[in-house]
Amino acid sequence: MNRWADDKELYSEIAGYAGDSADVLFTVLRNWQSSLPALRDTCTYKDIIEKSGTSKSYSKRWLSIVAAGIAAVVVFGIVLFNRFMEKPAQTRALCKVVVGNVLVQRGKDSINLTNGMEVLQSDTIVCKKGSMAVIEIGSATLRIDENSEVSIDSLQQTQVLSLATSMDKGILYATVRKLQKGDSVLVKTKTAVAGIRGTSFMVKSDSRSTKLVVLDGRVLLAPRIQDMPQEDITGVVVDGGKSCVIDTLTLRTIQKAVIEKKVSLDEAIQESIPVTIADEKAMRVLHALNQDISEQVSIDEDKPLSINDLYPIVSITPYRNDVVVTTNNSIYYCTNNLIKWTHDYYPISKPYIWDDFIIFQSKTLKALDTKGNSRWDIGIEGNIIGDSIVQIRDKLVIPTTEGLIYFVGKNGRILHRVNCNAPIVSRSIPFGQMVCVVTADGYLYAIDVVLGVSIYRKPIGKVVGNGIFASYPEMYIVTPASIQKIHLLRDEIIWRHDDSEIVAAVEHPQGIVFATAKGTLGKITANGMLEWQINPGKEIHSLQYTPKGIVCIAENVFYQIADTGEVLWSYTLPGKNTEILSVTPKTVYIRQENSFLALRL
């Protein structure tokens, strides 16, 4: 039997594990060890039992020795197990690179982050403007960019890695080598949770939205929805070269689909969260960081330098030589395509320019001046429909999805509120002293602007798009099956042109230009004659009239067409998911998936 060389070695082994009980255990083990020479080498546990049955003293002596021996063996086994079994290595989170002013918030203290410093669980890393930090945690490497705050919520690694981080604002780039079974890496933001396997990706987050761009591998991105258990929430898979955005509107859309439409939570998530091709600029940055994560490249800036940096563009509204641009969560004022100012509102409607006021709906109806100063905001019911705000005399006419029409003065005061009893599906059309709209139940309303009362109501059926165009006292009404011109005051039809599958129409100074699902584009004159008809291709959309002719997109081709029906020129667009955002006298702005392009007219 192996024994300790001397008492000092025995005691030191015990003290490392027994602490304050070392003296007692040392005495037990020493007494038991000293009794061992008196035992015959051939004595077995059967001999002990047999002898103890014939001799009381022997029994007592051996029982005490055996009891002490059992206790000693247990302690001895623990000592040997802890001495010879190798402990799993605990991976530490270490700072590999730090640039600029980076702080670590640890409890109530704030300390400067330095190269080689260990980052602990519950630490928050704060990178100020112009700063950056790279943290290595096992198989994961994190780059925290400027103006970002990232918290290490959970960090465990023995045989498996468990890492959970959270970021309320900022930009985080990460590369994670392929994880083993049981490993878990999570990045949480205000609106989403990204579950990582083996990948390189970038997350941009603020209080309203989360944008994920994946270089390679795949990431599971799940929405964080209030009042729904997170464990019941699924997500969308974002593969390499793809991008995804989850914002507060996405969360509301999912909740509404589950509560009102009674669809399953997973179905609502899959339908409400699109995964698109990542924009080229973000992919270039990711490729550069994948080669050298500490490279001095700017992932983002406090404010984008130009209109080309905005993502994703929802609308563009011209104002003199400038433009007002909206994205999912901000509004920007651009001069010569450079950002002059921005506000982090969530624009629901396309902005309307009223003299030097920019009117749009966020949570409330807001008015900003061209310097970005807030002039007023008021509450309204329902959402404004597209670009349906119009000015009539000294009032704004604002229809909503709740079937309400608001008349608002320049000072932000609501002058009238008219209920049309059904959602409004057309824009407001000035008509003398009246304004006309069409509701979802197929009624045409005429409302007196001065009095704020409905004076005319007529069933006309479903209309196409905006569907009504006025030339007082006459009006054009476009339905999927016909175009007709009526005299509204006399309530009579002047002429009617029948066609099938009309999908879009736009007013022309000499009549109406319309498109069909068959791929035809035609012009009807003011007296009801079909002047010309051409066939640019199917899926005609974004039909607009400009002083330089008619513009539209058919499939993936942009067309500019003369008033005579002649195609002036065309341009093949890179993708099919395109839309004309705005047209100025010289430029047409076209959105294509996650970017946009500008074409000269």
What are 127's two structure tokens? 């990178």
- Using the 3D structure, point to which of 265, 291, 317 is the last residue of a domain: 291
What are 171's two structure tokens? 């930009």
Average pLDDT, the chain: 81
Domain membership flag for residue 506 = no
**Could you tell me what percentage of the chain is helix, strand and coil, using 3-state DSSP and rounding each to the nearest 5?**
20, 45, 35
Q: Using DSSP bridges, classify how beta strands 184-188 and 161-176 pair: parallel, antiparallel or unpaired.
A: parallel
CATH code where residue 226 lies: 2.60.120.1440
Q: Residue 286's pLDDT is what?
A: 80
Domain membership flag for residue 183 = yes
Q: Looking at residues 565-573, what average pLDDT do you find?
A: 93
* Same domain flag for 225 and 79: no
pLDDT tens-digit readout, 482-501: 999 999 888 899 999 999 89
What is the sign of the dihedral through the CA atoms of 213, 219, 220 and 226? Answer: negative
Q: How far apart are CA 560 and CA 541, in angstroms?
A: 13
* Same domain flag for 120 and 226: yes
Percent with pLDDT over 70 in the chain: 79
pLDDT tens-digit readout, 520-539: 999 999 999 999 999 998 88
Domain membership flag for residue 486 = no
Q: Residue 77's pLDDT is what?
A: 54
What is the sign of the dihedral through the CA atoms of 354, 384, 480 and 554? Answer: positive
* Same domain flag for 164 and 261: yes
pLDDT tens-digit readout, 86-95: 444 556 789 9
* pLDDT tier at 44, thresholds 50, 70, 90: very low
Q: Residue 63's pLDDT is what?
A: 45
- Using the 3D structure, point to which of 291, 306, 335 is the last residue of a domain: 291
* Same domain flag for 216 and 278: yes
Q: Looking at residues 122-144, what average pLDDT do you find?
A: 88
Domain range for 33 is 7-84
Burial of 316 (0-12, 13-18, 19+ CB in 10 A): buried
Q: Looking at residues 394-412, what average pLDDT do you find?
A: 93
Q: Which residues contact 226 (CB under 8 A, 6 or more apart)?
A: 251
CATH code where residue 551 lies: 2.40.10.360
Q: Which comes out higher in pLDDT, residue 406 or 184? A: 406
Q: How far apart are CA 323 and CA 338, in angstroms?
A: 10
Residue 218 in contact with residue 255, Cβ under 8 Å? no
Domain membership flag for residue 369 = no
Q: Looking at residues 543-565, what average pLDDT do you find?
A: 93
How far is CA 273 from each of CA 234, 246, 324, 582, rounded to the nearest angstrom?
11, 7, 26, 26
Domain membership flag for residue 172 = yes
- Using the 3D structure, point to which of 291, 311, 340 is the last residue of a domain: 291
How far is CA 14 from each of CA 9, 32, 74, 79, 90, rounded to the nearest angstrom?
9, 15, 12, 7, 25
How far is CA 346 from each of CA 275, 314, 324, 351, rounded to the nearest angstrom?
21, 11, 14, 12
* Same domain flag for 74 and 154: no
pLDDT tens-digit readout, 226-282: 776 656 668 899 988 888 999 888 888 888 888 887 788 888 888 889 888 777 667
String of DSSP letters for 96-127: EEEES-EEEEETTEEEE--TTPEE-TT-EEEE
Q: Residue 39's pLDDT is what?
A: 39
Domain count, the chain: 3
Q: How far apart are CA 357 and CA 601, in angstroms?
A: 28
Q: Which residues contact 465 (CB under 8 A, 6 or more apart)?
A: 426, 478, 503, 504, 505
Residue 144 in contact with residue 132, Cβ under 8 Å? yes
Q: Which residues contact 441 (CB under 8 A, 6 or more apart)?
A: 421, 422
What are 141's two structure tokens? 């490497």
* Same domain flag for 71 and 101: no
| 57: amino acid identity, one letter | S
Q: How far apart are CA 176 and CA 173, in angstroms?
A: 10
Q: Where are the beta strands (DSSP E) in 107-208?
A: 109-112, 118-119, 124-127, 132-137, 140-144, 148-157, 161-176, 184-188, 192-196, 199-205
* Same domain flag for 167 and 37: no
